[in-house]
Amino acid sequence: MMQYMVVGGDTDDVGEDEAIATTRVRQGVPVAYRGPDTDRDILNPQTQLPMLFHGHPGRITSPTVQHILVDWVGLEDEPASFAVGYFPHTIDGGWAGPVVPALAEISEDEYFLRKQRIDKGERPVP
């Protein structure tokens, strides 16, 4: 079983979002960021909440498995959304691995809950 380490524990901890299966990657799927909080690739100082938070909601805009793009809530005009891509680890023979470690598939309800928190200026997950 593949594990992906993030700040504060690994993804097998209770309450953590599980990595999205490579076979589930498609345009429009709601996802959450599984990495540590970062302000890298957010260039406009006027961006409200200029941070990609652990648990941040977004939607896949480009499902190319070698460079998956996500439109992150509140960061739509930032390089974090239109330039930074995510990908699965490769396995023997150079094939895409079974999951994309940095992304988790979330439900529509969870997406909207997290979006509302971001819109209020709060972290997406408590």
3-state secondary structure the chain: CCCCEECCEECCCCCCCCEEEHHHCCCCCEEEECCCCECCCCCCCCCCCCCECCCCEEEEEECCCCCEEEEECCCCCCHHHHCCEECCCEEHHHEECCEEEEEEECCHHHHHHHHHHHHCCCCCCC
Q: Which residues contact 102 (CB under 8 A, 6 or more apart)?
A: 4, 19, 33, 34, 35, 86
pLDDT > 90 fraction of the chain, expressed in percent and rounded: 74
d(CA 105, CA 29): 7
pLDDT exceeds 90 at position 90 = no
The domain limits of the chain are 5-119
Cα–Cα nearest to 80, from 28, 38, 47, 42: 42
Instruction: Please give the average per-residue pLDDT across 70-79, as a whole number.
Output: 96
Query: pLDDT band for position 3 (50/70/90)?
Result: very low
Least confident of 4-8, 66-70, 92-96: 4-8
Instruction: Please give the average per-residue pLDDT across 40-56, as a whole number.
Output: 92
